[in-house]
Amino acid sequence: MRPSANRRRYPRIAAPVFYRPAGPGVFHHRRATVDVSLGGMRAYTDDELRVGMRLEIDLILTDEDTARCWARVAWVDRLPGDAGALYDVGLEFLDMSDEHSRLLRKALTDDLP
């Protein structure tokens, strides 16, 4: 079951952030996020993920800026067949360098109205 929205530590915004599995030469399709914060994100994906899995991911913030982090799969919901993706997932950011955290903070702040 998904955690309650009122337990969120950081506000989430709809930002033009994508993610992909981390690593050089990784050419997987980028996955779109639904919303993102300094503490995690919600995304649509076709990847079959399990609650509790740890993933190393790259957050694609701009054409020039990418932040790498470790994330934990917090929840997974199967989407209906016409949704455009197989799963709706919540990822909690576990570990991110100070530099990459600053890049994410800047991307989120720059995107506020």
pLDDT digit string (tens) for the chain, length 113 residues = 455 454 556 666 666 778 888 866 554 555 667 788 899 999 888 888 999 999 999 998 888 889 999 999 999 999 998 888 899 999 999 999 999 999 999 888 875 55
Closest CA relative to residue 69, chosen from 110, 105, 44, 45: 105
For residue 27, what are the contacts with CB-CB under 8 A and spacing of at least 6? none
CATH number of 10-107: 2.40.10.220
Domain chopping of the chain, boundaries? 10-107
For residue range 52-80, what is the model confidence (pLDDT) as tens digits? 999 999 998 888 889 999 999 999 999 99
pLDDT at 1: 47
